[in-house]
Amino acid sequence: MEEVKNDELDEDFVNEVENAIKSIFSQLPIKYIGSSTMQGISFVKFLENTIERMNSSEVSSLLSIPSEYESVIQFVAQEAIKESIEKYKERMNALINEGGKLPILWKKSSNFTEQLGKEMCKFKEELAVRNSKELTIYNENIAKELWIEYVEIGLYSNENNSFKNAEDLQYALKLFESNYNKSMKESPEADKIITSYKTNQYSAAIDYMARLGRINKELAKTMYTREVAHRKQLEASAREEALRIEIELWSREREEYEKNIEIKTLELQANIRQQKQLHHEEEKGSNKIKENLWVCIKNHIRKILSPCKH
C-alpha cells in the first residue's frame, strides 16, 4: 500500500485520508524544541524537514541536532519530576482538605503513603520503559544512516565505487563503528544495536562479498569468527553496563531507605525519651497531689476531733 502513488488512487479517498491525518495532527499535544513550542502540524513539518535534510545528497555527513534533542530530554525529565510532585500534592491536599478526612488513624495514613509510593514507583518504571524505547529508536536511526553511508554504498554501488576486497570492507566497517560511537547516545540500548549489526548486517556483508568472489572463503570465515568474538565482548559489556546501572539505582534507593530508617529511629527514640519524661513528671505530680490530699485529710480530721477533747 505504501508503494502506491496518490495519482493511482481515487481522488476522494486521498482527500479523506489527508483530512483525517491533518485532523489527528491538529489535535496532538504541544511539542517542545529548545525553548519553542510547536503544535501537532508544525511539529510534524519540522520532522519532515529534518528527515528531508538528512536524506539530501547535499548533506555529506549525518545531520545532527544535539541541542534540540538534549532540550527535549531535559524537558521530559523536568515534566516527569513535576508530574510526580503534583500527583503527591494532589493526593495529600485531597486527604487534608476534604471534610471528614482528618483526623485519621496512623495505620490508615501509613497505608495511604504506601499506596502513593507504589504509584510513584509504577510511574518511574513507565518512564524508564518510554526512555528506553526512545533511546533505541534514536540509536537505530543513527546506525541505519551510517550503515548506508559507509557500508551499503560500497556493497551495492557500481563497479567504480564498490568494495574491491576485504580491506575495503574492513575499513568501511571501522568508519561505521567509529562514527556510530561518536553519534550514539551511550546506553545499554546503543550497545544492543551495534551487537545486532555485528550479528546480522556484518555477517550478511561478509557473505555477500564472498559470493561475489571478492573475499575467499577462508578469509571470510576468519572475519566472521573475529566479528563473533567482538560481538560476544560487546554483549558482555552491555550486560555489565545494564547491571552497573541497576546496582547504582539499588544503592541510591538503599541509601535513601537507610537514611529514612535512621531518621525514624531517632524520632522514635526522642519520642520514647519524651514519653518517659512526661510519665515521670506525671507520676511526680500525682505523688505530690496524693501527699497534699493526705495532709488535707489529716488536718480536716483534726478539726473534727478537736471539740471532742473539750
pLDDT one-digit tens code per residue, 284-294 = 777 777 777 77
- Which residues fall within 8 angstroms of residue 143, CB to CB, at 6 or more apart? 180, 184, 193, 194, 197
Supply the pLDDT for residue 63. 45
- Which residues fall within 8 angstroms of residue 216, CB to CB, at 6 or more apart? 210
Query: Residue 66 — left, alpha, or beta (φ > 0 → left; ψ -120 to 50 → alpha)?
Result: alpha
pLDDT one-digit tens code per residue, 21-57 = 666 656 655 555 544 555 556 666 666 666 666 565 5
CA–CA gap between residue 43 and residue 68 (Å, rounded): 13
How many Å is the maximal CA-CA distance in the chain?
144
257: cell is 531507605
Of 69-73, 253-257, 297-301, the poorest mean pLDDT is in 69-73
Supply the pLDDT for residue 261. 79
* Count of C-beta atoms within a 10 Å radius of residue 283: 10
Over its C-alpha atoms, the chain yields an Rg (Å, rounded) of: 37
Long-range contacts from 58-67, C-beta under 8 angstroms, 24+ separation: 61/149, 62/142, 62/145, 62/146, 62/149, 62/179, 62/183, 64/183, 67/34
pLDDT one-digit tens code per residue, 99-142 = 556 666 666 666 766 777 777 777 777 877 888 888 889 999 99
Supply the pLDDT for residue 176. 93
**Closest listed residue to residue 68, CA positions, set 52, 47, 87:** 47
- The amino acid that residue 7 corresponds to is D
Angle, helix 66-97 to helix 106-147, in steps of 10 degrees: 170
Supply the pLDDT for residue 229. 74
Q: Report how far apart, in Å, the C-alpha atoms of 270 and of each of 106, 256, 258, 263 are.
A: 18, 21, 18, 11
